[in-house]
Copies of this chain bind each other. A is one copy, B any other.
Amino acid sequence: MERVDCLIHNGTVLTMDAAGTRVDGGGVAVKDGRIVDLGSDARLRSFPAEETLDARGGIIMPGLVNAHTHLPMSLFRGLADDLPLEQWLNEHIFPAEAAHIRPDSVALGARLSIAEMLLGGTTTCCDGYFLANWVAEAVEEAGLRAVLGQGVIDFPAPGVSDPKENIQAAKAFVEQWQARSPRIRPSIFCHAPYTCSAETLKAAKQAADEQGVLFQIHAAETQSETRICRETHGCSPVQYLDRLGLLNRRTLLVHAVWVDKTDIGIIARRAARVAHCPESNMKLASGIAPIPDMLAAGVTVALGTDGCASNNDLDLWGEMDAAAKLHKVQRLDSTVMDAGTVLRMATIDGARAIGLDREIGSLEIGKQADLIVVDTNQPHLAPLYHPRSHLVYAAHAADVCHVLIAGRPVVRDRQLQTMDRDALIREVRRMGGIIAGAQDGKK
């Protein structure tokens, strides 16, 4: 048989394919960055392999897809919590961004976030931030896969001091990264309907559609946003965006908390995608998105952590757990958002939401080899009756032991292979000291 680059064996393979295929006592063969075979160990054993990774009876599954991040904001993790949203933003986050967001800090924050994601089994993220070029360089270097959006907002922003140039800056970013890396897809990220004019929104979406890239936007996150939208535009944020012609299958609506039946009907009809960020919505007291209703209407819903300033981590395991439980208690119905549904949101549906489902999101022959191994040899994962249940309700980021992206081992035995973890933490702490000092200085 043909020689392969890597053989991952001795695990339970949870493919997350459409048929829900699962192989006990099996593995995956990887060559040239792609999955060339998967199945029982008895068969795969005959592949000669450059490298063999033993899953030790654990779970082999697709890498997780984090559909909403602001990578550089990990520098502000835990800077301010438990405050009213306006105070948190205006007194802490916006001033910290104004004072500290530069190309080098964007790159540093992105590297910190990437390290956390890789160690926790997230192999793809969909990001939106300013100075996206520096985020992209960090992603490229560390071996992550990502859709990266250059931020558009009608205010002076890091790297775009004149808002009149925001569309041009986004276009330039997209052109620069459109074909530069097989793991990076550029995107345009409009901050929100209330921070961008109708003209900006339309121009940004037009630019995204012309380039065939994803258009991302925060929408209907808070009750007050929705109220103000109704006062200003006479309709809900979703209806406003639809009226501007912004909704299609390459549109990712982030949060979508305050949406009603009409809104959900529009989202479904336009085949727009939704990124659900339950922990951010909980911590910032934004509200509970009606996800079960969206799923019932056929909307593709992904899971996102949001930025570290509001969550305070990039841990999709916690996000899955919260997504499964939050809607149960809200509806007093323990059958909604079952483990399988939530796991799809964090894998194949996440990939679909950001336009990558033909390449990633499930383990299938021919797809990119973005996969992780979950170590189940631990008291909190024993006994094991149903892998999906453990993954959603009991597993944590620290249980991920091996991570491959495009066939490249980026984490082996819980150790980062593409980044110097200790040097990174030292550098982040130095920067954290500067940020904390500036905060104290203001008091």
Point out residues on A near B: beta carbons under 8 Å.
75, 77-79, 81-85, 88, 112, 115-116, 119-120, 223, 279, 281-288, 311-315, 318, 321-322, 324-326, 328-329, 331-335, 337-339, 377-380, 382-386, 389-390, 393-394, 396-399, 421-422, 424-425, 428-429, 431-433, 435-436
Q: Which residue of B lies closest to A393 (CB)?
A: B312
Copies of this chain, whole number: 2
Contact B382 A112 (CB under 8 A): yes
Q: List 13 A-B contacts (CB under 8 A).
A: A75-B383, A78-B385, A82-B334, A82-B335, A283-B325, A284-B328, A285-B332, A313-B380, A315-B396, A379-B424, A379-B425, A383-B429, A385-B432
Least CB separation from A321: chain B residue: B318
Rounded to whole angstroms, the CA-CA distance of A83 and B88 in the bound complex is: 39
Asked if A384 contacts B335 (CB within 8 A), the reply is no
- Since A78-B389, A382-B425 are in contact, a sample of 12 more A-B pairs with Cβ atoms closer than 8 Å, ordered by chain A residue number, is A81-B338, A81-B339, A81-B393, A88-B334, A120-B380, A285-B331, A287-B329, A311-B393, A318-B318, A377-B425, A382-B429, A384-B429
Chain B residues whose CB sits within 8 angstroms of the CB of A75 once the complex forms: 383
Contact between A432 and B384, CB atoms less than 8 A apart: yes
A381 to chain B, nearest CB (A): 8
The residue among A339, A379, A421, A431 with the most chain B CB atoms within 10 A of its own CB is A379
Q: For the complex, what is the distance from the CA of A249 to the CA of B70, rounded to whole Å?
A: 47
Contact in complex: A314, B380 (CB < 8 Å): yes
CB distance from A276 to the nearest CB of B (A): 13
Task: For A334, give the chain B residue with the smallest CB separation.
Answer: B285
Residues on the B chain within 8 Å of A314, using CB: 380
Q: 5 closest pairs, A vs B, by CB?
A: A383-B432, A398-B398, A282-B325, A82-B338, A78-B389
Task: Tell me which residues across on chain B come within 8 A of A284, comparing CB atoms.
Answer: 328, 334
Residues of B near A386 (CB, < 8 A) are 78, 81
Could you tell me if B79 and A329 are in contact, using CB atoms closer than 8 angstroms?
Answer: no
Say whether, besides A82-B334, A84-B334, A379-B421, A393 and B116 are in contact (CB < 8 Å): no
Shortest distance in angstroms between A10's beta carbon and chain B's nearest beta carbon?
Answer: 15
Interface residues of A, dominant DSSP: helix
Of B286, B377, B379, B429, the residue contacting A116 (CB under 8 A) is B379
Q: Assess the B81–A383 pair: CB atoms within 8 A.
A: no
A223: nearest chain-B partner, CB-CB: B332
Q: Are A329 and B285 in contact (CB under 8 A)?
A: yes
Residues in chain B near residue A337, CB distance under 8 A: 82
- The smallest C-beta distance from A321 to any residue of chain B, in angstroms, reads 7
Look across to chain B and name the residue whose beta carbon is closest to the beta carbon of A281. B329
* Nearest residue, chain B, Cβ from A117: B379
**Residues of chain B lying within 8 A (CB to CB) of residue A331:** 285
Judging by beta carbons under 8 Å apart, are B379 and A83 in contact? no
- The answer to whether B329 and A288 have CB atoms under 8 Å apart is yes
Given contacts A77-B394, A321-B318, A329-B282, contact A428 B338 (CB under 8 A): no
**Which of A281, A339, A378 gathers the greatest number of chain B CB atoms within 10 Å?**
A378
CB nearest neighbor in B for A435: B383
**A389 engages B84 (CB within 8 Å):** no
Q: Give the distance in Å from the alpha carbon of A20 to the alpha carbon of B440 in the complex.
A: 20
Q: In the bound complex, how far is the Cα of B325 from the Cα of A326, in angstroms?
A: 10
B333/A285 in contact, CB under 8 A: yes
Complex Cα–Cα for A396 and B380 (A): 13
Chain B neighbourhood of A85, CB < 8 A: 334
State A288–B331 Cα separation when bound (angstroms): 11
A231 to chain B minimum Cβ distance, whole angstroms, is: 19
| A379 lies within 8 A of B334 (CB) | no
Output the least CB separation between A442 and chain B (Å): 14
Whole-angstrom CA separation of A377 from B251 in the bound complex: 38
A83 touches B334 (CB 8 A): yes
**CA A428 to CA B378, docked complex, whole Å:** 11
